[in-house]
C-alpha cells in the first residue's frame, strides 16, 4: 500500500475524456490540496467591498481524475477519510437566482470568514460556528463524454454536500466506468444540512483519504458510515426548531427556513440576510414526517450552542 500526492491539473466538468493524473491500487492513500469552490475569484475580497460578479467558469475545481487499477462497473469504491486540514479563510454567498429562498433574497451578498482557529469561526459576533471540514464533491466519474456541470449530484456521487463526511467517515460509491476516475472537490469548513443559500463555509483544504476497491458489490446508490455521534459538542445546549407544513416538501422546507429567519430576528436580533447566511452554515433541515397526507412537515434546527 502506497501514499500518493495527487498532482495537477484540475478540471471542472464531468466527462470521461479528461487525462488521468494518477493511477493507484486498492488500499492506497491519496494526499491532495483542493481549492475552494470559487476557484480563487474571492482571494482579494474584504467584507464591505462591492460584491464581485460571480464567475461560473471558475467554479468547482476538482482534483483528479484518479484511476483505480482493476475497478470496473459493478464494483464499489470506498473513500475512507483519514483527515482534513482547513485553510486560513473562507466565504459564504448569496448568488442571485440560486438557493432555497432565491425569490426572497434576489441581491448578491458575500461574507468572508477568517479561519484563525482550527475548531471554530466567528460570524459577525452573532454566532460561533464549529468547524467540521469535509469535501462536498467526491465521485466516481459518470459515464458521459459530453462535458456536464458539477452542480447536480447523481448515483455516481458528485456534489452530495453531505456535512457528515468528515474525518473518520467512509463513503461508498458505485463505479461507473473502467478505472472509476475518482474526483474530489468543493471543500467546506462547515455546513448546515440543506446548504440553504447554495454556499456553505467554502474554504480550501488539504485532505488524506484511503481508497479501497470492493469488487462485485453492485450498489445502486451512494451510502456512508460515520465514526460515532453526528453532533458531538454541538447538541449540548439543545435546539430551537421551526416548522414548515404543507403538501409539497420543497415548499415546506422554504416555510421552515423563513420561520427560522424570523425566529433569529425576534429571538437574537439577527438581520434577515445574516440569518439566511448563518442558516446555510449552521441550521439543519430535517424531514419530520411524510405519512400524514396530504400535509408533510419539514423542521429547521438551530443549535443553541452556537449563539453568542
pLDDT in tens, 138-164: 999 999 999 999 999 999 999 999 999
Both 24 and 150 in one domain: the answer is: yes
The reported pLDDT for the residue numbered 218 is 87
Tell me the C-alpha to C-alpha distance, in Å, between residue 50 and each of 19, 23, 38, 93. 38, 44, 17, 13
Domain contains 199 = yes
3-state SS, one letter per residue, for 44-95: CCCCCCCCCCCCHHHCCCEEEEEEECCCCECEEEEEEEEEEEECCEEEEEEC
The reported pLDDT for the residue numbered 299 is 98
The reported pLDDT for the residue numbered 50 is 95
Residue 100 C-alpha cell reads as 432555497
Domain with 58 in it: what CATH number? Answer: 2.60.120.580
Q: How many domains does the chain have?
A: 2
**Which of 181, 206, 225 corresponds to the end of one domain?**
225
Both 215 and 249 in one domain: the answer is: no
Both 221 and 250 in one domain: the answer is: no
Both 22 and 133 in one domain: the answer is: yes
Both 247 and 149 in one domain: the answer is: no
Domain contains 64 = yes
The reported pLDDT for the residue numbered 105 is 97
10-residue averages of pLDDT along the chain (308 residues): 93 96 98 97 96 94 97 98 97 97 97 95 96 98 97 96 97 98 98 97 98 94 93 87 98 98 97 98 97 97 94
Both 138 and 50 in one domain: the answer is: yes
Both 53 and 190 in one domain: the answer is: yes
Domain contains 124 = yes
Both 39 and 98 in one domain: the answer is: yes
Domain boundaries, position 247:
235-306
**Which of 169, 202, 225 corresponds to the end of one domain?**
225
Cα atoms found within 13 Å of the Cα of residue 51, Cβ hemisphere only: 13
Both 157 and 217 in one domain: the answer is: yes
- pTM, whole model, 2 decimals? 0.95
Residue 197 C-alpha cell reads as 443559500
Both 19 and 159 in one domain: the answer is: yes
Both 124 and 213 in one domain: the answer is: yes
Domain contains 230 = no
**Which of 205, 225, 245 corresponds to the end of one domain?**
225
The reported pLDDT for the residue numbered 209 is 98
Domain with 251 in it: what CATH number? Answer: 3.10.28.20
Domain contains 63 = yes
Both 8 and 117 in one domain: the answer is: yes
Domain contains 26 = yes
Category of 114 on φ-ψ map: left (φ > 0), alpha (ψ -120 to 50) or beta = beta
Domain contains 296 = yes
Instruction: Write out the DSSP string of 120-144.
Output: EEEETTTEEEEP--EEEEEEEPPS-
Amino acid at each position: 500500500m502506497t501514499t500518493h500526492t495527487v498532482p495537477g491539473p484540475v478540471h471542472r466538468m464531468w466527462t470521461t475524456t479528461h487525462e488521468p493524473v494518477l493511477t493507484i491500487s486498492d488500499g492506497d492513500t491519496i494526499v491532495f490540496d483542493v481549492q475552494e469552490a470559487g476557484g480563487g475569484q474571492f482571494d482579494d475580497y474584504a467584507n464591505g467591498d462591492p460584491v464581485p460578479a460571480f464567475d461560473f467558469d471558475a467554479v468547482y475545481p476538482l482534483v483528479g481524475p484518479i484511476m483505480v487499477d482493476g475497478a470496473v462497473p459493478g464494483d464499489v469504491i470506498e473513500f475512507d477519510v483519514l483527515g482534513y486540514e482547513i485553510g486560513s479563510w473562507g466565504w459564504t454567498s448569496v448568488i442571485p437566482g440560486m438557493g432555497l429562498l432565491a425569490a426572497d433574497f434576489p441581491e448578491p451578498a458575500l461574507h468572508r470568514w477568517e479561519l484563525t482557529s482550527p475548531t471554530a469561526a466567528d460570524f459577525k459576533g452573532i454566532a460561533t460556528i464549529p468547524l467540521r471540514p469535509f469535501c462536498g464533491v467526491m465521485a466516481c466519474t459518470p459515464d458521459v463524454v459530453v462535458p456536464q456541470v458539477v452542480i447536480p449530484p447523481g448515483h455516481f456521487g458528485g456534489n452530495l454536500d453531505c456535512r457528515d463526511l468528515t474525518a473518520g467517515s467512509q463513503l461508498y460509491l458505485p463505479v461507473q466506468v473502467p478505472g472509476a476516475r475518482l474526483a474530489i472537490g468543493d471543500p467546506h469548513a462547515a455546513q448546515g444540512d440543506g446548504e440553504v443559500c447554495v454556499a456553505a463555509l467554502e474554504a480550501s483544504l488539504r485532505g488524506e483519504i484511503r481508497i479501497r476497491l470492493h469488487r462485485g458489490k453492485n450498489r445502486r446508490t451512494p451510502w456512508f458510515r460515520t465514526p460515532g455521534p453526528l453532533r458531538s459538542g454541538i447538541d449540548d445546549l439543545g435546539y430551537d426548531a421551526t416548522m414548515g407544513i404543507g403538501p409539497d416538501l420543497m415548499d415546506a422546507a422554504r416555510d421552515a427556513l423563513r420561520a427560522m429567519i424570523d425566529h433569529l430576528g425576534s429571538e437574537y436580533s439577527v438581520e434577515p440576510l445574516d440569518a439566511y447566511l448563518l442558516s446555510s452554515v449552521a441550521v439543519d433541515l430535517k424531514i419530520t414526517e411524510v405519512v400524514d397526507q396530504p400535509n408533510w412537515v419539514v423542521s429547521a434546527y438551530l443549535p443553541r450552542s452556537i449563539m453568542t
